[in-house]
A and B are shown apart, each in its own frame.
Chain A
Amino acid sequence: MTGALPGVAPMAVPPGAYLVVGTLLFAIGLAGTLLKRNALSIFLSIELMMNAVNLLFLTYARMRGDMAGQMIVFFVIAIAAAEASVGLAIFVALFRVRRTVDVDEIALLKW
């Protein structure tokens, strides 16, 4: 593959534990996305979900001894930065028009 992980030793913590924590964090983030009403909070929850996924990637990278996982995480972090900036700019613009960031108020595209 891409390259072996440098300087590693066998894992002391079973990898399953990492996976469980990761999926748990993902579930929490998902709950936040579905249940919060503030648009910014929803966005934060989405960030949490992405990081949970990062954790999973790192776990698998460690398990397989492959650097590819870490590279993916690298890119994900960079892209998250870009996405956050644009998203927040949208929120700012939205707020100027609607004076609110409550998603339930911004339901224009209904039948």
Chain B
Amino acid sequence: MPALSGELVVFTIASILAIGFALAMVLQKTPVRSVLSLVVTFFGLAIFSIQLAAPFIAVLQVFVYAGAILVLFLFVIMLLNLSQEATEEDARPIQRRLGFVAALALGGVLSGAALRAPMPKGVAPAITPLADEIPMIGRLLFSDYLLAFEALSFLLLVAAVGALLLSKRRFE
């Protein structure tokens, strides 16, 4: 049993939040409620990120994911007026059962595998103060990951154009 510390408490609370609301998201019938549950899950994940010494990522998580992407989802839901949810029974119960089993099995196997995998020993002692994290990220982006970075910007451009084209009305 690890020593009780503030960190552990925060971790526990965040994990309960994350897992709980994830379950809620899956179990909800209405899409709007699912989206909102997911937002809370993302907040939990952001807390995890901070704990894992990635504050920049945490902020990105909240701004981009929760703030932009999920809002986009909400927009689309509103646009398509999808508040109602079809509730007829599945025509193929086998999908339900097998899917359940698969998810369960995969989850179990993956966590088992993850836990059994050899863990790296310890952590290297700090050599740079925390305040230098963002400059460090910036440096990395423009040196080791330059190609990926540029490609990413191109990808975003393409996605924007594609989204525009796809949602146009017919060219009459």
Binding site for B on A (CB under 8 A): 2-32, 34-38, 40-41, 43-45, 47-48, 51, 54-56, 58-59, 61-65, 67, 70-71, 73-75, 77-86, 88-93, 95, 101-102, 104
Contacts and interface: CB of A to CB of B under 8 A. Distances in A.
Interface in B1-42: 2-3, 5, 7-8, 11, 15, 18-19, 22-23, 25-26, 31, 34-35, 38, 41-42
A35 to B, nearest CB: 5
Task: Give the secondary structure class of B's interface.
Answer: helix
B110 A73 contact: no
A77 B60 contact: yes
Interface string B127-165: 111111100110011001100100010011011101111
A51 to B, nearest CB: 6
A59 B137 contact: no
Secondary structure dominating the interface of A: helix
Contacts of A32: 25-26
Contacts of B164: 89
Q: By CB atoms of chain A within 10 A, which of B3, B11, B26, B144 has the most?
A: B26
Given A28-B26, A64-B120, A58 B130 contact: no
A80 B35 CA distance: 16
Contacts of A2: 140, 144
Interface of B: 2-3, 5, 7-8, 11, 15, 18-19, 22-23, 25-26, 31, 34-35, 38, 41-42, 45, 48-49, 51-54, 56-57, 60-61, 64-65, 68-69, 72-73, 76-77, 79-80, 82, 85-86, 90-91, 95-96, 99-100, 102-104, 106-108, 110-111, 114-115, 119-120, 122-133, 136-137, 140-141, 144-145, 148, 152, 155-156, 158-160, 162-167
A3 B136 CA distance: 8
